[in-house]
Structure 1
């Protein structure tokens, strides 16, 4: 059962307990850690600050976060480690950045200057900062590991020397999965394969700072290493003292598994397929570093709806920070908690966002009423709390689509917002942060054609052209506007006018004929108010416009 503090998240049903995917994975990780005799459980993520860290990367973080959080709720010693791969090479200049930055390609990300105007010391720090801020907002505690500091500080010295001693063994493991010949023209790939002797280490050149280097000689006994660079430089160093370089990726990753004692680290499809870095890494960590591969479920990628509009306005794929400008923290967490890692997720930046919020609000009502299913309830708890406590929530959650319509129609006027929210039994402060999220969505992502603009003056020609039925219906609406000036009252009114015209009671079940009459009536009202056949929900539109303006536009 879930206790009052939300500490246990396997919910009892009428039959057997029904755990969600997080609980099942937590069980596996706890068991693996116990088998390995580990005093602390380590869940890990890896992020590369090579450019804006996009929203899809959030799954790399949220999957281990949710598992670590469940383990922590159960009272175990656990940490979530996030490895910042800021010692990786700078590969390409992202869109929107000065092409002059191409001169830094091949340098470590931490050695590349930050984009023009940035307050940060280097490229990596510039792109790490927004992600770190988003994780704080999302309630994701973690220990950040800076790979530049690890390598240049000599933390991995023994592991690098071991990998170089065992290079033939590593080359043999990699060779089982290589699909191209070692003497092929393009054989220099990410596992360090080349036409010469294989070396799992890549130096950064002391002259130009890039990794366009080739090791030409290495002595295991003395650790003397000679390398040349495409810039023309050559250097002979003692690797036991040299810290300007790193292991190639397919060796670096399993080395870190062993070094950090990682028990759980998911990876994307590209790292989880046969012959990929996860499969190869499992052999290398076992046969070379004496460690064990973590439990590593594959996760599906995160899709975006409405991305085209975002790309045109921002010139980049959306980031977690972008998502948090329009989504409340619990809703974004819920997207990851309710789907198994191998299930696709779509984050909406278009009007599908309204449907997502409708689903969330429906879940909240079910949880409050005690009618939600076990897994639904568990997912909700994971969204609104962590082991550390409650996360910020909107105290008066007015429907997102309603808030968006109201903000749009009133152009965000504070006095108008306060007036309209009062009719919804809410205040601007109580409706935050959802109100601010909806306002940002309206300003940044609402399609141009979806914006609503009330007429300034009544359409005299249209009013004069109405037939007797439509004129009567408009008069009934106009005369009873303030009978119950609330969203529920206006909803009853606009659906009830055609019923009254037909001599039907208000609680009658709609027939096809009645629905057609209602549609006809709605079109007339929309044309009189906004000059179009459709618009936001009519009760919301009336509430936002105010009774005086509505009466005037309806000919009163």
Structure 2
């Protein structure tokens, strides 16, 4: 018989939730530590299942992404140990829309209390955008479709909870939970009550979960809706949504989930991961999954977190616009999962990330821990990336060549013949994208046009003179003031790339024409060409990071035969007569 102390109190005294944060610091990487725990817990023939789940309240940002990266790294660590595993991506689109979400999102304006999947197109668009990002970063298998579904036997599965609930996937366990609601409440530390408040019915009439359950058993839930006033009985368990704590344990038990990452706020004393331990041990008679707790992802400045539920970005696609996929994964894997991360696109963080990543790649050939981490990130050989010039050199080449990507790449290949051309081209593209999206203007803000000095006309004449296109701008040494005069005419700045380099990139004739245009009309066509290159890079990055699919995939087919959604209703009235689910409900 249960005593007066909350279930699990003795466990908390002897360590309790603190065990969630225990780690073997001698392991070569934290993902290897969690993989070893799973390998020790389960027999060799078992395929370990790791879940990563999230609700499509908005587009998934780089804070949400940490959950999936943790699952991915543990999956790869298990493979290094010779163990089979799979990842289950669960989109919790059967969670209710909160009032605050409905107030700020026009697409959800009339959906407060209804499932997120009540707006199917919106939910599908958000989930597909994340699936596409996982594919681009190399986490999703290439044979997955636009919704993340894969052929049988794949190491990846994607579930949409609205489909799972309405298809009756959890019906047997749901009825058991409804029958034992009072016992579940006590196991969760609620000394009073019969557990009815652990469930909410999506009203059969208006579709909202603003309901009071008056009677609950394994067969049905009798309720009254506070929104439309209906007093009905829900007999199909798919209409009765358990609270988050019960929903999680139900899915863990049904899917046989062995491991799940979770934010530290879900792992603290009194949190879901802590309170549900007695339910696993005393009710389900199975160990709680191995939890991988992770810290917050914070903004570039201050203590604000990106990993809130409001969405708003930045997104994984924003990282991929300026970083290669292995570096994106490394940003999350380089620190202990318990540590907070600070990610952003300012100059210091951007250059610092590339500097540290390049040092890490060069260490992978000699340092065991670095090599272990590299193998968790990718199957690529590290030697090819170790030969690349640093990002500072790449930005310098772009600066020196007027932001012309091809010219900068040619110069970099000349100076670094050992570098892989494809990888160096990609790094140059990432550098140009960063300049276009996040960097300051390469040559500063242009100064207002002023009357051209004598040096402008003299150099223009020499570049266009009898010596022809081969004429070099440095035929006569120029004073410091004359150089400033030339750069103001070309770029609107006191300094810039070497003039002979500009002549090689744009031709001496183009340089002469640019100087003449400034002298005669106050125009700076060369700077405009450089700005056009940045604008093109910005548009290309925007195309790659766009969230709206201009050619959306057709609506996903149901994996089973879930019941069709109930038409929305804003007031009391009879259920639609043509609803095929009506036979399952009784008033």
CA distance in 2, matches of 1:91, 1:324: 31
Matched residue, 2:286? 291
CA RMSD of aligned residues (A): 4.5
Are the equivalent residues in 2 in contact too, given 1:409–1:454 (CA < 8 A)? no
CA distance in 2, matches of 1:542, 1:381: 45
Task: Give the drift of 1:238.
Answer: 5.2
Matched residue, 2:204? 206
Matched residue, 2:350? 353
Task: Give the drift of 1:272.
Answer: 0.7
Matched residue, 1:31? 40
Are the equivalent residues in 1 in contact too, given 2:178–2:217 (CA < 8 A)? no
Change over 3 Å in CA distance of 1:392–1:452 after alignment to 2: farther
The answer to whether structure 1 residue 384 and structure 2 residue 378 are counterparts is yes
The answer to whether structure 1 residue 232 and structure 2 residue 228 are counterparts is yes
User: What are the within-5 Å matches in structure 2 for residues 128-207 of structure 1?
Assistant: 128-141=127-140, 142-175=156-189, 198-207=196-205
User: What are the within-5 Å matches in structure 2 for residues 363-442 of structure 1?
Assistant: 363-367=360-364, 370=365, 372-385=366-379, 397-404=388-395, 406-407=397-398, 412-413=403-404, 416-417=407-408, 419-421=410-412, 423-425=414-416, 431-442=424-435
CA distance in 2, matches of 1:294, 1:104: 33
CA distance in 1, matches of 2:56, 2:38: 28
Task: Give the drift of 1:524.
Answer: 12
Matched residue of 1:217: which SS? strand
Are the equivalent residues in 2 in contact too, given 1:228–1:235 (CA < 8 A)? yes
Q: More deviation in 58-67 or 280-289?
A: 280-289
The TM-score, its normalising length taken from structure 1, stands at 0.68
Are the equivalent residues in 1 in contact too, given 2:502–2:511 (CA < 8 A)? no
CA distance in 2, matches of 1:136, 1:63: 16
Encode CA deviations 1:45-83: one digit per residue, 9 max, x unaligned.
Answer: 111111010101111111121111121233322111111
Change over 3 Å in CA distance of 1:345–1:402 after alignment to 2: same
User: What are the within-5 Å matches in structure 2 for residues 449-488 of structure 1?
Assistant: 451=444
CA distance in 2, matches of 1:542, 1:429: 28
CA distance in 2, matches of 1:94, 1:551: 55
Change over 3 Å in CA distance of 1:87–1:543 after alignment to 2: farther
Are the equivalent residues in 1 in contact too, given 2:322–2:434 (CA < 8 A)? yes
Task: Give the drift of 1:357.
Answer: 0.9
Change over 3 Å in CA distance of 1:429–1:265 after alignment to 2: closer
The answer to whether structure 1 residue 258 and structure 2 residue 253 are counterparts is yes
Change over 3 Å in CA distance of 1:122–1:274 after alignment to 2: same
Matched residue of 1:103: which SS? coil
Change over 3 Å in CA distance of 1:419–1:456 after alignment to 2: farther
Task: Give the drift of 1:551.
Answer: 11
User: What are the within-5 Å matches in structure 2 for residues 17-56 of structure 1?
Assistant: 19-34=28-43, 39-56=46-63
Task: Give the drift of 1:86.
Answer: 0.8
CA distance in 1, matches of 2:76, 2:107: 43
Matched residue of 1:296: which SS? strand
Change over 3 Å in CA distance of 1:237–1:289 after alignment to 2: farther
Are the equivalent residues in 1 in contact too, given 2:181–2:195 (CA < 8 A)? no
CA distance in 1, matches of 2:217, 2:346: 59
Are the equivalent residues in 1 in contact too, given 2:94–2:162 (CA < 8 A)? yes
Matched residue, 1:78? 85
Matched residue of 1:49: which SS? coil
Encode CA deviations 1:271-302: one digit per residue, 9 max, x unaligned.
Answer: 01100011112222222333221111321111
Are the equivalent residues in 2 in contact too, given 1:404–1:441 (CA < 8 A)? no
Aligned residues between the structures: 448
CA distance in 2, matches of 1:234, 1:135: 43
Matched residue of 1:86: which SS? coil
Are the equivalent residues in 2 in contact too, given 1:526–1:534 (CA < 8 A)? yes
Q: 1:60 aligns with which of 62, 67, 71?
A: 67
Task: Give the drift of 1:430.
Answer: 5.2
Are the equivalent residues in 2 in contact too, given 1:43–1:79 (CA < 8 A)? yes
CA distance in 2, matches of 1:408, 1:213: 63
The answer to whether structure 1 residue 300 and structure 2 residue 307 are counterparts is no
Task: Give the drift of 1:147.
Answer: 0.9
Encode CA deviations 1:374-422: one digit per residue, 9 max, x unaligned.
Answer: 212222232332xxx7799879844334444555676654664455445
Change over 3 Å in CA distance of 1:414–1:26 after alignment to 2: closer
Change over 3 Å in CA distance of 1:400–1:162 after alignment to 2: same
Are the equivalent residues in 1 in contact too, given 2:199–2:241 (CA < 8 A)? yes
Matched residue of 1:256: which SS? helix
CA distance in 2, matches of 1:27, 1:480: 71
Matched residue of 2:57: which SS? coil
Task: Give the drift of 1:423.
Answer: 4.3
Structure 1 unaligned spans of 5+: 1-16, 113-120, 183-192, 464-476, 482-521
Matched residue, 1:468? none
Matched residue of 2:260: which SS? coil
